[in-house]
A = this chain, B = another copy of it.
Amino acid sequence: MSPRPAESDGADLVERTALAIRDLLIDGRLRPGQQLVEPALAAALGVSRNTLRESFRILMHEGLLLRHPNRGVFVHAPDVAEILDIYRVRRIIEEQAVRGAAPKHPGLAAVRAAVGQAVRLRDAGDWNGVGTENMRFHAALVALADSPRLAELFARLQAELRLAFVTLDSPEYLHDPFVDENRRIVALLDDGRMGEAADALDAYFTRSERTVLAAIERGRATRPR
């Protein structure tokens, strides 16, 4: 369709293609377990097979795609163990980021903003928006560590988690009950009581983990095998 690769944007074609596929994934238009055949997808995206393969490399290293050698690449369908692993890493990173954050850290503004927006969206009934804002909230917490590497790692984790949510198509409502909790955390942070905020986060994670596991079990019962 687009003979000219002048599709605008900033990065190179490979990166843009990876982005496009990422969108297809979180939109759920590519289902977990599904195979991504190279010629077909390349044609659909209007890029060459080589370019597509480079994009696959990126997404594989992000844990979103999985390659079976000589058989093709498939959308990764995370199992329980992997979801738990993601939460384990999140717990470590977020809690330490919060615990070690400087009082009056400039990044706190972003944290506040995310919570505020989430409250507004919840009152408007926009659950999808609440979910997005919740992710922003946690990313802002990690940003308090002032570590580019940690931030990037976390972004990847969030992408994986998103895919996991798609996998067990249990969407936004998972985030709803936590808005008030987030508000409490941000209050603690504004007060400079980082340790208590971290502890609150810890409780958050235990609860959130339980919720997710329940959703998994429920899904497994509904759609067995």
Contact = CB atoms under 8 A, between A and B. Distances in A.
Q: Which of A14, A93, A100, A149 has the most CB of B within 10 A?
A: A149
Interface in A91-140: 92-93, 95-97, 100
A147 B54 contact: no
B14 A89 contact: no
B145 A88 contact: yes
Nearest to A49: B50
Interface in A53-104: 53-54, 57-58, 61, 63, 69, 85-86, 88-89, 92-93, 95-97, 100
Contact of A92 (B61, B63, B85, B145): B145
Nearest to A70: B12
Copies of the chain in the assembly: 2
A153 interface: yes
A148 interface: yes
Contact of A58 (B57, B88, B148, B149): B57
Contact of A153 (B53, B97, B145, B153): B153
A147 B53 contact: no
A53 to B, nearest CB: 7
Interface string A40-56: 00000000001001100
A86 B149 contact: yes
Nearest to A69: B12
A150 interface: yes
A98 to B, nearest CB: 11
A93 to B, nearest CB: 7
A88 B50 contact: no
A38 to B, nearest CB: 13
Interface of A: 12, 14, 50, 53-54, 57-58, 61, 63, 69, 85-86, 88-89, 92-93, 95-97, 100, 145-150, 153, 157
9 contacts: A12-B69, A58-B61, A85-B148, A89-B150, A92-B93, A92-B96, A92-B145, A92-B150, A149-B157
A-B pairs, 8 with minimum CB distance: A92-B96, A57-B57, A88-B147, A89-B149, A85-B147, A50-B50, A61-B61, A54-B57
